[in-house]
Amino acid sequence: MDPEALRKYSALHPKPAGLALQYGTAGFRTKAQQLDHVVFRMGLLAVLRSKAVAATIGVMVTASHNPEEDNGIKLVDPLGEMLHPSWEEYATQLANAEEQELQKVISEICQKAAVNPHKDALVFIGRDTRPSSEKLSQSVIDGILVLGGQYHDYGLVTTPQLHYMVCCQNTQGQYGKATLEGYYEKLSKAFMELIKQSHSSGEGQRHLKIDCANGIGALKLSEMKPYFPQEVLIHIYNDGTKEKLNHLCGADFVKVHQKPPGGLDMKPNERCCSFDGDADRIVYYYKDATGHFHLIDGDKIATLISIFLKELLAKVRQNFRMAVVQTAYANGSSTRYLEETLKVPVHCVKTGVKHLHHKAQEFDVGVYFEANGHGTVLFSKAAETKIRQLVKEEKDDEKREAAKVLENMIDLINQTVGDAISDMLVIEAILALKGLTVQQWDALYTDLPNRLLKVQVADRRVIDTTDAERRAVTPPGLQEKIDALVKKYKWSRAFVRPSGTEDVVRIYAEADTQENADALAHEVSLAVYHLAGGKGAPPQP
């Protein structure tokens, strides 16, 4: 490491005085103008991580579903997974170090993490369509070069595409080719193989309207269009040419506000979906004949995929262990349907993709989705090997055909991370193969009415939870109060958890009617306000 070069470049990317940021599940996120020093330093960290694990590391410049003025950065580990938790701490230390301590902090990381300075380093870079992203990714490159790393800049890509490239590179191409063409070819080929067998009823079924949140999803979906046959009719809306990223549109907007996005004209019973700003989340929805809006969120997506995979697994007659992983935010009706009707084991983990991904890795087939539409399916190495072997060698027709469908599903699913494009194609293939309309899919179960609220508190750390965030341990008396309130309503449950990013406590409640869910959420929010140091005026109903 050349201390002089580090000093010189670091001075070009100065840290604003008094700014402290935390590397969380989504990496760093804040106003774009506060990020220059952070992304430069994440270029440095990516080189150290690459040397430590002797593999290619990814750096993605995006703030996902945040407003256009924000930006962010996250690192991608060798198999396309999120950065290892021990390195999240190094990221925070490095981002917040004062200029004169930079050298020392780097040396400390090298020591603690056993970084081999003589190893080569390679970093893959991607960015979303925000106006600030190009300049910020240049700053990342500065950081990489200072520490003698090499880089490949993919330019504009979706977050899941960058995860995919990193995984392809580090599996020596076993997962696929580390190019956009490779991604489009692998997914479109698997998709076409699947829908070949569908006897889809008429034209209408194949039309899909997609709200791309005025983000990167629109660009990449347009690039992928030529890879599909004529009968795949996808219509792109909110493509970024007219409006601002994520403004009144995108998966997050639709899920939070429970209404269709702007910029997309919906006719009754048309199938529609929304991506988020960096295309790693997807939700579906439609309007019925009476004009009523129906949201199909991550829970119902996980259910559809689980039904389909369970049928196939029964046909191949292997003892594969399958499970669905959810968080406490999953609607109670979805959990009940999966456990009681489908007879699939359900596991609940803490909020945050890394917790879901980690748990899903314990099974031969692990389906995980957050209610917000971020999710995927993981197949164990053993299951994948066995399925591919059955396709080649199985004599029994039914078994071999089912294995073939499973093999195409494995190729269509982006197992590194939730991927809106891949998930959309999986859903479209399943609906076509099962001959289901969006209404029939929606009718699998009825969501329990629910309400999300937040209460401002002086310090979010006063709330500590257990049992996958479903029960509060502190402050004393809060959980007892919640238990008593929940007893008042039918089919009800409620939980509270501290936000990961701001001094607010998030409250979730569900019950048999919307009125009861709203009342329960309000009563719980009052309990939080009084017992956990609420700020400002008490919550109003």
Residue 96 DSSP SS3: helix
Residue 371 assigned as binding residue: yes
- Please name the residue that has the structure tokens 């008396």: 477
Residue 188 assigned as binding residue: no
Token output for 524: 């719980």
Residue 276 assigned as binding residue: yes
- Please name the residue that has the structure tokens 């983000």: 215
Residue 299 assigned as binding residue: no
Nearest to 71 by CA among 246, 262, 291, 327: 246
- Please name the residue that has the structure tokens 């829970």: 299
Nearest to 121 by CA among 142, 147, 102: 147
Residue 497 assigned as binding residue: yes
E strand or H helix that includes residue 57: strand 57-61
Angle at 502 between CA 468 and CA 329, to 5 degrees: 30
Give yes or no for a contact between 234 and 225, defined as CB atoms under 8 angstroms apart. yes
Cα–Cα distance, 442 to 444 (Å, whole number): 6
Cα–Cα distance, 515 to 508 (Å, whole number): 14
Residue 36 assigned as binding residue: no
Residue 341 assigned as binding residue: no
Active site residues: 64
Orientation of helix 420-434 relative to helix 180-196, angle to 10°: 10
Residue 500 assigned as binding residue: yes
Residue 239 assigned as binding residue: no
C-alpha neighbours within 13 Å on the C-beta side of residue 421:
29
Residue 223 assigned as binding residue: no
Residue 498 assigned as binding residue: yes
Residue 541 assigned as binding residue: no
Cα–Cα distance, 270 to 268 (Å, whole number): 6
Residue 334 assigned as binding residue: no
Question: Residue 13 is which amino acid?
Answer: H
Token output for 139: 């700053």
DSSP 418-482: --HHHHHHHHHHHHHHHT--HHHHHTTSPPPPEEEEEEEBS-GGG-EEETTTTEEEESTTHHHHH
Cα–Cα distance, 59 to 46 (Å, whole number): 7
- Please name the residue that has the structure tokens 């993919």: 154
Cβ count near 500 (within 10 Å): 13
Question: Residue 12 is which amino acid?
Answer: L
Cα–Cα distance, 354 to 519 (Å, whole number): 33
- Please name the residue that has the structure tokens 């193989």: 193
Residues at the binding site for substrate are: 370-372, 497-501, 506
Residues at the binding site for Mg(2+) are: 64, 276, 278, 280
Residues at the binding site are: 64, 276, 278, 280, 370-372, 497-501, 506
